[in-house]
Amino acid sequence: MQKLVNLIEGLVVADQKDQIVKKEGEELIRVNIMTSAIAFMYEKIRTIVDYKEEHLLRKSAIFRILKRRFLGGSDFYKISERVIRELISARYLENNKIPETKVIEVAQVIEKYDLLYSGVNEQKGLTAALELYDWILGLASCEIEETLVPANKEKVFIRFMYNEIKARMEIVSSKMSDEEKNLQIFIAVNRSLIKSDKQMLDYIILKLWYPEWKNDYRIFLPKFIDEVYKIKNEINKQINHKMANRLLQYCRRYAMMIIILRDVIYQDLKSAAKLADDPKFLESKIREVCQEKYNETKRRLKTQIGRAIIYVFITKMLLAMVVEIPFDYYLLNTFSWLAISVNISFPPLLMIFIASTIRTPSEKNTQAMIGGIEDLINDKIGETQYIREPKKRSWFTKILFNLVYLITFLIPFVLIIYFLRKINFSILSILLFLAFLSIVSFFGVRIRNSARELVILKKRENILGELFDFLTLPFIRLGRWLSLNFSKVNIFVFIFDFLIEAPLKIILQSIEEWLAFFKEKKEDLY
């Protein structure tokens, strides 16, 4: 098990790099417990309105803070300090653990992206700068998170999985260079192992292509400003590559094995080397971690489902009061309590039903997990898996298949519209019903998939399952489209970010400064 020994040795070194070292005499950043409690409560409420996966919450919080403060002036140290203090207040970082040197490091990152934004503004105009504003802040938020919470151990596992995937599969494509194939595998590994989102992938690829942006950005900055659109488009091209989804599906099975192995090692990193000396002990630990992971997934699913239900219910209630009831009552004069009741109650009830059908993995899955991990660390590769490009079709076949797909896509919607009209739903009520049915279906599939990530056994196909997928696919696709686009114009997020969060954070900052002043006066008495 030399491979396991090497992996553990690499993790021990990476763990030392991840430790935040406080210099002698250096102060640690501390926030007031009272303001922290209020900020933490606010974050909990906001995550209901703006649904995001847990591992993205801290980065999203950094993005929001930057969006409020990035254009607030050139005092980068002050902006950096407020970013860190707000993160500590919201409990994304530990209180009284972050040394003040981190303020300087984060300030340097903020200055770098301010220079990028200002350079684009000067060279390409304000319109171009504003168009790239969110993209630039996304890169900045990823680098700030990396600065505050180094993830060197994570990188060790990414490199380990990348090498294992490369040894086990081959991309069959005459049009892709070896460099592009390797990049696509690397992207799939990041997406499956650490659940990288679009912003994280942007930052990962940028660092990979232009390491000087991280190491000595002033060398690369002029070129970055000059070719910013070209660089952004090339990154998007790789993220949206036609092979991306096929590689992701292949990588997911191995990602879960490596996550289980990671958790086994993390139980006691200092003593992890003995796992390589005792296969039976390793097997028992894998079984133990699998069971813990199943239980943890149950708890996480309950949280995700609860948040999704509350999000859907609150959103639907507000839309009903603000839009649906006034529209039906005053414009159509056809107000229906049945339509309103169904529209408000159906989405959360559907979410509860979907949740009840989710099952945790079986003993067979645990056995497959043990066998798969043993193959990984013992270099048992087996047959090479060939991943091919999507099949090419003639223009006639494409048109025919798309036409058939469009017809089958519309059938479920037509049937539901017909039924709702029979029970006197208005046009607006029908549209809202279909929208929330689709959004809940998409949420349900996303939550179900997060539970299925633990399953490495191949899914059995059956007629009923295929029929169910056929009927629900239109709603899931529409729900995905609505979720992606609704998040861009989410009025509730706007209300929280600009009408609640900005004033709240100013008030909390003022309270914190007053309490610090009061403490100083109190200390003068002694």
Tens digits of residue pLDDT in 292-309: 888 888 787 777 777 777
Tens digits of residue pLDDT in 325-343: 777 666 767 767 777 787 7
Burial class of residue 461 in the structure, from the number of CB atoms within 10 Å of its CB (0-12 exposed, 13-18 middle, 19+ buried): exposed
Is the predicted pLDDT of residue 51 greater than 60, yes or no? no
> Cβ neighbours of residue 69 under 8 Å, at least 6 residues apart?
79, 82, 83
Alpha helices in 19-56 (DSSP H): 33-49
Question: What does pLDDT average to over the chain?
Answer: 83
> Cβ neighbours of residue 358 under 8 Å, at least 6 residues apart?
301, 447, 448, 451
CB 377 within 8 Å of CB 4: yes
Is the predicted pLDDT of residue 500 greater than 80, yes or no? no
* Interatomic CA distance for residues 25 and 511, integer angstroms: 27
Tens digits of residue pLDDT in 76-111: 998 899 899 989 988 899 988 899 999 999 999 999
Q: Which of 38-52, 136-150, 203-217, 294-308 has the lowest mean pLDDT?
A: 38-52
Q: Which of 154-168, 186-200, 388-402 has the lowest mean pLDDT?
A: 388-402
* Interatomic CA distance for residues 320 and 343, integer angstroms: 8
* Backbone φ and ψ of 177, nearest 5°: -75, 165
CB 177 within 8 Å of CB 201: no
